[in-house]
Homo-oligomer: A and B are copies of this chain.
Amino acid sequence: MRTSIATVSLSGTLTEKLTAAARAGFDGVEIFENDLLASPLTPGEVRTRCADLGLTVDLYQPMRDIEAVPAELFARNLRRARHKFALMRELGADTVLVCSSVDPEAVDDDALAAAHLRELADLAQDFGVRVAYEALAWGRHVSTYDHAWRIVEAAGHPALGTCLDSFHILSRGSDPQGIEDIPGEKIFFLQLADAPLPAMDVLQWSRHHRCFPGQGGFDVAGLVRHVLRTGYAGPLSLEVFNDVFRQAEAAPTAVDARRSLLALQEEVGTGEDTPPASLTPTPVIPAPVVPTGFAFAELVAADAEPLTGLLAALGFARTARHRSKPVDLWQQGEARILVNTGAVVRRDAAHLAAVGLESPDPRGAADRAEALLAPVLPRRRAPEDAPLDAVAAPDGTELFFCDARHTDWRADFEDTGQTPAATATAGIRRIDHLALTQPWHHFDEATLFHRSVLGLDAEDSVDVADPYGLQRSRAVSNPDGTVRIALTVGAAPTDDTVHAQHIAFATDDVVAAARRLRDAGAPLLPIPANYYDDLAARHEFADGELETYRELGILYDRDDSGGSLRHCYTRTVGRVFFELLQRDGGHRGYGARNAPVRLAAQHAVRTASALSGGG
């Protein structure tokens, strides 16, 4: 039989994957959409590359959330499908995988599902494409292979068949005997995977994935309240089996653990009308003082020029300098960047070393941080400096609690008389967010730290595919979104390709800001054309809009309520790069959907740079 492998099963760029598959003797490949989007090769070039390697393109995937949805949504789905079928013709792929819908708007109506799939197959046929419909084990209404087959059978279209996947069938414990009732010619594709059986039982969960209270999803505080109402007077004891904690240094893990209990006690007390006296932690924890904005971000570099050149191209001006130290303040709107060339103790790459947080009560914030075991830094960095309260975050970043009117830290700086370039609409208004890679063993600790010490809210963590492994990302923010930090972590402790940090600047006109940057000679991160072809399939744009994004490398995202995000990236200096970002319609996200494309593009630049011997 012919053998094939999905590109998602292998690491690296699309071309690396194709080469590896061909060398290992596979006859064909399934092309995974994200691998194509992140590739600089056009679909036609991918087709040629595959042909040269002796590979057929056996499947393009996935197409999702197509069937059994309201008419207007289905019309949009068909529009998207038309784009993809055209792409498949270029790609030389004649079969597309359609996964059973997980769309919340999908209805439980087999006849409607069959009608929609028939219509999709009609369209596909025009492009010479076959549609293979597969039941996802977690499909909203269709989750078993026999159910998917009944719908395919009811649709009765020659270009519609089913796709069987051993994972989806066997993970549900379905009896595969029933497969024999399906005519072989209607099984358009067979995907195979195995999986470790006990991976999901509660025992494995318990022994490998526990974490400290506040780091997971249980309502531990609620449980503790019930226990305390019984009069229980014993200790609160942490019993946590966790594969990562087993490897981490014991000392910081123990601090993380204690902090978790302090925060838990506070949370338990907050929910009680009359909290038991036994609950009061020692020492008493001052109330949260939530930061109201970024006062500054401080970059440290041995050689300031690459950073300051980029800041100047972004429209920043060197508005002030420190009275006694080699630290400059670069400013535009409310975005303030300190560039420090005096704090480099060894040949560190340029990196973000400190963050100033605007606080309604800096001293109260610092007292809380100290009570929650954050390492307190000296109030004065040098004898002549203004006193500032500061603590260290788990990743070593220094956090300064600053007066919201900037009277404190700003006193150490004297104005240069320079002002930023005319800002108008192309200007940067403020720091939108920071993205900071966390030490691998302390990602959960970082989340808890930012929640408990700073009083920020944490969103759910998301997995983001990097060509060489999965990254995890979790955002923390204050309620009005003026302080946002995306905490990220690489795939493994060894993963040294992703230690980048970035500062995202908010602008009201990302297109104008990107143009100015480019015109100032600072290259933007190039984004593959395939990404824009996908955008065209996904959304409708005004005339010329998409071409502008394509020209400048602007990424686009739209949320469920119609909010939009446009963003683009500079090149990387040391460990730091900058993002320009425009939010409209209340979009609160960070463009996680675009992150795999951005990460692949950054890998591509690094590789090209290494090949050319550049920095």
On A, residues with C-beta under 8 Å from B are: 1-6, 8-12, 16-17, 19-21, 23-28, 30, 58-59, 137-138, 164-172, 176-177, 179-180, 182-185, 187-203, 205-220, 222-224, 226-227, 229-243, 245-251, 253-255, 257-258, 261, 264-265, 278-279, 281, 373, 463, 465, 468-470, 491-495
Contacts and interface: CB of A to CB of B under 8 A. Distances in A.
Contacts of A214: 194
A451 to B, nearest CB: 12
Contacts of A188: 234
B250 A11 contact: yes
A235 B3 contact: yes
Nearest to A278: B1
A168 B223 CA distance: 12
Given A176-B226, A235-B58, A237-B190, A167 B9 contact: no
A237 B4 contact: yes
Contacts of A171: 202, 205-206, 218
B492 A247 contact: yes
Contacts of A239: 5-6, 8-9, 30, 165, 167, 191-193
B209 A11 contact: no
12 contacts: A9-B245, A20-B254, A23-B251, A172-B202, A189-B237, A190-B235, A195-B211, A195-B216, A198-B217, A199-B209, A208-B470, A247-B495
Contact of A253 (B10, B27, B230, B495): B10
Contact of A373 (B24, B58, B209, B468): B24
Contacts of A59: 237
Given A192-B238, A193-B238, A200-B201, 8 more contacts: A19-B250, A23-B251, A137-B206, A138-B206, A169-B223, A192-B264, A194-B214, A196-B211
Contacts of A191: 237-239
B24 A230 contact: no
Nearest to A207: B463
B184 A209 contact: no
Contact of A194 (B170, B190, B208, B210): B210
